[in-house]
A and B are shown apart, each in its own frame.
Chain A
Amino acid sequence: MGSGIYISTSGAVAQDTALDVTANNISNASTAGYKTQRVSFGQAMANTRSPDAAFTGVKEMKGDAAAGALRQTDNPLDLALLGDGYFAVNTPAGVRYTRAGDFRLDPQGRLINGAGLVARGVGGSEIRVPPETVGLSVGKDGQVMAGEESIGQLELARFAPDAMVREGDNLYAAVGGARPLSGAPTEVVSGAVEQSNVNLVRGMVDLVKISRTYESLMRMIKGYSDIESAAARGIGRPR
């Protein structure tokens, strides 16, 4: 039996994964700070140099780092980042990073995000808004001001694009031992939220492409199956 049917199957499995990723992109079209995931395919056994083993598979998934559109909200604790970089938050599992800057205050006066995680100050310091403060603002450099007085600076970090894994809840974790990059810090915009960078048109096109490719792969599998079946029935039959 030829290997064509298996090659087609490997293609179908890869398209299946691509569909799952596209579904996740589309469902996160309204998630603040979400970055589109892109799938690329590659030969799975490139070293064999045999057409019989030209299996395909998902080779890479990369986050599209393009900035999402900023949506003006006029809420001083809605923070967006210009350029690459992340806000740092404390989680039970350690420091995590996020692009979603829709912060608010908790009863202790700390800045928390929608999931209740506390924003870190520079070097892991704690930013606490004094109880009798009316009027908070955040500067371009992440300085949190209560009236005229600075009460701390938000920790901002930049990472190499491949150094981050997604953890859900808009969080990214740095891969074992990856250190923040030094260099020009990211600029903070107060009163705006970075929207998801998912492009629904592109999502729709991906969807069409995936379902058509899948359909042709299914036809190929069917074709191979028909050939095998004809061979099984026809070959060796006395005339």
Chain B
Amino acid sequence: MIRALSTAATGMEAQQTRLDVTANNIANTSTAGFKKSRAEFSDLMYQTQRAPGAATGDGTQAPTGLQVGMGVRTAATQRMHSQGNLRQTGNPLDVAIEGRGFYPIELPSGEVAYTRDGAFKLDAEGQLVTSEGYVLSGDISIPPDAQNVTVGADGTVSVTVPGETAVVEAGQIQLAGFPNESGLETIGRNLYRETTASGAAVVGPPGENGTGQLAQGTLESSNVNVVEEMIDLISGQRAYEINSRVIKAADEMLAQTATLK
């Protein structure tokens, strides 16, 4: 009973973690390019009271063992990089990635971060920048008098300039692919950082190295499925409740034992 008390407590703790992760997913339902996470659990060690194959005393062997587990622990939280829905915005500088890949972004510190959020803006120098003003890596400069910015599926940015009939090419957007996207580190503001677990970025034009193509005038919504999260919320809450019932049952049983004498 004492063991059941702490076992059920680990169960409650695990469901709490699950709820925290679900809460963050739901909070970011409308964050462009957000990727949902999930908590992963594993069982704790077992106390072996009798090992299978142990001698039973009358010359036979016990075919099964007696093992009592000690509960659960949170093993990891993992991000899921499935594609989010694409939403038409009509804004020429909203560029979504259809498929794998990340935009390389230069941070003010000189470091390179990566994002799936393709809601770009123009800065004073004609560069494409994120909402925070961080510059998209690559040689893209859009002339100040440019009209009709077009981003091709392969990342080519072309503009028309008044007085000229020919289309002027203003650069090409590059995408970074990773061997293991789930290994990227979240640093907030829709940005990810390369880690040893993600592997080194492979930067190239969209559509190469397994990366996806670009879709102008669209934004990638988060890949959070609210219905799924709600179900997680419900089952997490119920599981939490039932774990607390175990504690109650163990407590009542202890109380009955204590009142024997």
The reply on A140 being an interface residue by CB < 8 A is: no
**Residues 236-261 of chain B, each 1 if its beta carbon lies under 8 Å from chain A, else 0:** 10110011011001101100110011
Q: How far is the CB of B65 from chain A (nearest CB, A)?
A: 6
Count how many chain A residues have C-beta atoms less than 8 Å from C-beta atoms of the other chain: 69
A34 CA / B43 CA spacing, docked (Å): 8
Does B239 lie within 8 Å of A147, measured CB to CB? no
The reply on A32 being an interface residue by CB < 8 A is: yes
Which of B197, B199, B202, B260 has the largest number of chain A CB atoms within 10 A?
B199
B contact set with A: CB distance below 8 Å: 1, 3-5, 7-8, 10-12, 14-15, 18, 38-46, 48-49, 51-53, 63-72, 75-76, 78, 80-82, 100-101, 177-180, 182-183, 196-197, 199-200, 202, 209-211, 235-236, 238-239, 242-243, 245-246, 249-250, 252-253, 256-257, 260-261
Does A28 lie within 8 Å of B41, measured CB to CB? yes
Q: How far is the CB of B12 from chain A (nearest CB, A)?
A: 8
A225 CA / B260 CA spacing, docked (Å): 9
Which residues 198-221 in A have Cβ within 8 Å of B in the complex?
Answer: 200, 203-204, 207-208, 210-211, 214-215, 218, 221
**Residues 5-19 of chain A, each 1 if its beta carbon lies under 8 Å from chain B, else 0:** 000000010011101
The reply on A132 being an interface residue by CB < 8 A is: yes
The reply on A165 being an interface residue by CB < 8 A is: yes
Does A28 lie within 8 Å of B72, measured CB to CB? yes
Q: Is the interface of B mostly helix, strand, loop or mixed?
A: mixed
Q: How far is the CB of A75 from chain B (nearest CB, A)?
A: 5
Q: How far is the CB of A92 from chain B (nearest CB, A)?
A: 15
Does B200 lie within 8 Å of A24, measured CB to CB? no
A37 CA / B7 CA spacing, docked (Å): 14
A contact set with B: CB distance below 8 Å: 12, 15-17, 19-24, 26-32, 34, 37, 58, 60-62, 73-75, 77, 100, 102, 104-107, 109, 113-115, 129-136, 147, 162-163, 165-170, 175-176, 200, 203-204, 207-208, 210-211, 214-215, 218, 221-222, 225
Complex interface: chain A residues within 8 A of B256 (CB):
214-215, 218
Does A162 lie within 8 Å of B260, measured CB to CB? no
Does A105 lie within 8 Å of B52, measured CB to CB? no
Q: Could you name 18 residue pairs across A and B whose Cβ atoms are closer than 8 Å?
A: A12-B257, A20-B68, A21-B68, A27-B243, A28-B71, A74-B82, A104-B182, A105-B183, A109-B199, A114-B42, A115-B42, A134-B101, A134-B178, A166-B69, A167-B45, A168-B70, A170-B75, A175-B52
Q: How far is the CB of B20 from chain A (nearest CB, A)?
A: 13
Does B70 lie within 8 Å of A24, measured CB to CB? yes
The listed residue (A37, A60, A203) touching B69 by CB distance below 8 A is: A37
Contact of A75 with B10 at beta-carbon distance under 8 Å, contacts A23-B3, A165-B52 already known: no
